[in-house]
Structure 1
Amino acid sequence: MYDPTIYDNLKVAFENHVYDLDNLDHKINITNRVDRMDFSILKKDFAIQFKLVEQPDVTAEIVLEASLEDLAAEILEESGKFPGCSLLLRFYKHVQNIPKQCDEIEQALNGIWESDIQVTQTLSFVYKQEASSYLDIIEVAIKPKINEENIDEIADFLDHVLGTLEVLNEI
């Protein structure tokens, strides 16, 4: 019989919570979903994007990943290994005043999230078009890896994501 992995259980838990925020609570609109197995590096990843219903200018994306090493350590029950999943948040926001807004974004994220994060902002624009705004892709890497012991924390985690969306819409 098939025994679901940590990744499978976390993916289902995240899906359930996020879809409840869309279908039952009507707080968000889900805009995209990816469920992929990358055969070139043997990695599984799941991503789901959504926006606040009342503030659709900023998009959030939750990315859950399981590497080959983590999947193998779990399936083979390797002693001394602590398998889990990587969790990454991405926010997509347009900015006009790069130094001011990017600094405000970084300060806000560090204030909302615990100290075990790494924030990266990547700016882009379409070449040969007047750059009145730049797309800021804000990545928040959550450390350390998570596992099934963290399932009870998903609701609080999503509350933080929704709070972050509200703050980013104000910047």
Structure 2
Amino acid sequence: MYDPTIFENLKVAFENNVYDLDNLEQKIDIKNRVDQMDLSVIARTFKIEFALVDQSDITAEIILDASLEDLAGEILEIANKDVGCTLALKFHKSIQNPDLQCEEIEQAIKDIWEDDIELTQTLSFVYGTELSSYTNAIEVKFKQKINEDQIRDIAMFLEHVLETLHMFTKL
């Protein structure tokens, strides 16, 4: 009998919770969804991007990854192998004053999320246009792998994502 992987179970749980926020609660609008199998390295990636209703200029993307090592460790039931998935968030927000706003964003992220994260902010702009704003790609990587034990935490996780999006509308 087919036994779904940790990745498959987490993907479905994230999908269900995010689609509920879109369809039932109408708090968000889903912008994009990716379910990818990378055959060159035998890895799985699931991404789902969304924005708050009426706030489409600031987006959040949940990124769930499983490497060959994680998939093989689970399927082959390798003892003492820390299997699971990596989880990351990516937010996109337009900013005008990077020196001030990047610092505010970093502090707000640290206030909302635990210390067990890696935070990266990458600024970009379109060359040849008048520079009035930058696009800030804010990436939050969680250091610990997740597995089915965290499925019950997904609703609370998504509440934190929504809180982060609301906070970004004020900065």
TM-score, scaled to structure 2 = 0.98
User: RMSD between aligned alpha carbons?
Assistant: 0.7
Cα deviation for residue 57 of structure 1 reads 2.2
Q: Secondary structure at the match of 2:56?
A: coil
Contact 1:64 1:88 in 2 (8 A): yes
Give the counterpart letter for 2:150 in structure 1: N
Give the counterpart letter for 2:125 in structure 1: F
Task: Give 2:107's aligned residue.
Answer: 107
Task: Give 2:162's aligned residue.
Answer: 162
**Distance in 2 (alpha carbons) for counterparts of 1:2 and 1:170:** 47
Cα deviation for residue 41 of structure 1 reads 1.3
Identity of aligned residues (%): 61
Task: Give 1:69's aligned residue.
Answer: 69
**Distance in 2 (alpha carbons) for counterparts of 1:110 and 1:63:** 19
Task: Give 1:151's aligned residue.
Answer: 151
Contact 1:57 1:169 in 2 (8 A): no
**Distance in 1 (alpha carbons) for counterparts of 2:22 and 2:31:** 10
Give the counterpart letter for 1:165 in structure 2: L
Alignment of 1:1-171 (within 5 A): 1-171=1-171
Cα deviation for residue 54 of structure 1 reads 3.5
- Deviation string 1:11-53 (CA, Å, 9 cap, x unpaired) is 0000000000000000000000000001111110000000000
Q: Secondary structure at the match of 1:146?
A: coil
Stretches of structure 2 lacking an aligned partner (at least 5 in a row):
none
- Aligned pair count reads 171
Q: Secondary structure at the match of 1:79?
A: coil
Q: Secondary structure at the match of 1:100?
A: helix
Once structures 1 and 2 are overlaid, which stretch shifts more, 119-128 or 52-61? 52-61
Q: Secondary structure at the match of 2:144?
A: strand
**Distance in 1 (alpha carbons) for counterparts of 2:64 and 2:28:** 19
TM-score, scaled to structure 1 = 0.98
Q: Secondary structure at the match of 1:58?
A: strand
**Distance in 2 (alpha carbons) for counterparts of 1:152 and 1:75:** 23
